[in-house]
């Protein structure tokens, strides 16, 4: 479960990698993305504003509300409108967009912002917009994990995004081959505990969906499962759900652990519940016990190792 192979492609706003493509000839290099994540992902950089022919440097653009319609116009010249160009350039990237397992966008950008982008109405801004390119991207690929670099500074949002990227990557690998209902059920079994940590109710419903289905209309079933899975994974996992998941896994050790070891595991899970320890501590102890007392079901599960440990994402959640 420690081996993560393959080049996972993630789209990214070019300026976040240090490329000088911004309106002022500058960049917004993000040290975490460009310094750490680059070792784990194959970034595909893209600047829609440059791709539609805007120069470097250039006059900035902004979102404007005109009779209820959101347009992207020049800040100095309202007749300079690039709305359709940004929509079209997003649609034209289909070939490489379809290969992606995630996308990191530049916050606040009128082209790339994922949320809370300023929209001007009668000269007054409100942070309710979505960048034109970003909106088109997310509409065309609603299950693609998408995040902004600013939100990645939050440890829970960062862990959530990267977990979704790796899960989506595994899903796409499964769908590249011919698959049967049993493959969908096996996929769910390997991700059941991850889903439980996000929503126990949704995890049960997804399991029931596959349990009551037959080997017919598999593509439709897979699409329905994917929709439910990605919706569930966007829910930020809570301590309560993690504790429930840890205790479920602990149950597989009930015939193996001596009293002292069981009490120690109980104490560590309780300390995590109370916020005294990060999630990595009970996870590490469970990894230790399942190496000592292997269980095929747990070995196949991704909950204890959902992504490379070197990312250290569980140290702060």
Q: How many CB atoms lie within 10 A of CB 288?
A: 12
DSSP 8-state class, residue 270: H
CA 112 to CA 230: how far, in whole Å?
22
CA 308 to CA 40: how far, in whole Å?
8
Q: Where are the domains of the chain?
A: 9-56+84-118+128-153, 155-317
Q: Kindly tell me the number of DSSP H helices and DSSP E strands found in the chain.
A: 13, 8
CA 37 to CA 50: how far, in whole Å?
24
CA 242 to CA 103: how far, in whole Å?
26
Nearest to 146 by CA among 226, 234, 228: 234
Q: Work out the end-to-end distance of the chain between its first and last CA atoms, rounded to an integer number of angstroms.
A: 21
Nearest to 249 by CA among 207, 202, 289, 298: 298
Give me the residue label for tokens 């975490």: 32
CA 86 to CA 79: how far, in whole Å?
16
pLDDT, one tens digit for every residue, the chain (317 residues) = 445 656 899 999 999 999 999 999 999 999 999 999 999 999 999 999 999 999 999 999 999 999 989 999 999 998 999 999 999 999 999 999 999 999 999 999 999 999 999 999 988 999 999 999 999 999 999 999 999 999 999 999 999 999 999 999 999 999 988 899 999 999 999 999 999 999 999 999 999 999 988 767 899 999 999 999 999 999 999 999 999 999 999 999 999 999 999 999 999 999 999 999 999 999 999 999 999 999 999 999 999 999 999 999 999 99
Phi-psi region of 233 (alpha: psi -120 to 50; beta: other; left: phi over 0): alpha
Nearest to 164 by CA among 141, 184, 186: 141
pLDDT for the residue 1: 40
As a residue count, the chain comes to 317
CA 82 to CA 136: how far, in whole Å?
14
- Token pair in block for residue 215: 């080997």
Q: CA-based angle 167:247:160, to the nearest 5? A: 30
Question: CB of 105 within 8 A of CB of 114?
Answer: yes
Sign of CA dihedral 99, 103, 109, 113: positive
CA 40 to CA 42: how far, in whole Å?
7
- Token pair in block for residue 68: 């209820």
Which secondary structure element, helix H or strand E, spans residue 193, and what is its range? helix 181-198
Inter-CA distances, 203 with 197, 208, 231, 304, Å: 9, 9, 11, 17
pLDDT for the residue 317: 93
Question: CB of 289 within 8 A of CB of 249?
Answer: no
- Token pair in block for residue 93: 């990237």
pLDDT for the residue 7: 85
């Amino acid at each position: 479960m420690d081996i993560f192979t393959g080049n996972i492609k993630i789209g990214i706003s070019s300026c976040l990698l240090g490329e000088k493509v911004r309106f002022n000839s500058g960049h917004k290099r993000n040290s975490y993305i460009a310094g750490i994540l680059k070792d784990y992902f194959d970034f595909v950089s893209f600047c829609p504003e440059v791709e539609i022919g805007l120069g470097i440097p250039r006059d900035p653009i902004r979102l404007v509300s005109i009779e209820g319609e959101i347009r992207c116009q020049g800040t100095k010249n309202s007749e300079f409108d690039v709305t359709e160009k940004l929509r079209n350039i997003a649609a034209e990237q289909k070939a490489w967009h379809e290969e992606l397992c995630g996308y990191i966008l530049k916050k606040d950008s009128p082209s790339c912002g994922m949320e809370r982008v300023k929209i001007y109405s009668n000269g007054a801004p409100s942070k309710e917009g979505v960048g034109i390119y970003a909106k088109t991207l997310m509409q065309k690929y609603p299950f693609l994990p998408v995040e902004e670099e600013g939100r990645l500074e939050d440890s829970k949002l960062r862990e959530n995004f990267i977990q979704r990227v790796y899960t989506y990557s595994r899903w796409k690998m499964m769908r590249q081959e011919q698959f049967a209902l049993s493959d969908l059920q096996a996929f769910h079994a390997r991700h059941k505990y991850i889903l439980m940590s996000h929503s126990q109710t949704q995890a049960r419903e997804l399991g029931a969906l596959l349990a009551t289905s037959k080997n017919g209309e598999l593509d439709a079933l897979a699409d329905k499962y994917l929709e439910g899975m990605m919706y569930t994974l966007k829910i930020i996992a809570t301590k309560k759900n993690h504790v429930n998941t840890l205790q479920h896994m602990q149950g597989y050790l009930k015939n193996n652990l001596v009293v002292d070891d069981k009490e120690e595991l109980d104490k560590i899970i309780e300390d995590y519940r109370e916020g005294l320890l990060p999630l990595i501590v009970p996870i590490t102890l469970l990894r230790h016990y399942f190496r000592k007392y292997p269980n095929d079901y747990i070995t196949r599960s991704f909950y204890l190792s959902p992504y490379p440990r070197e990312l250290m994402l569980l140290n702060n959640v």
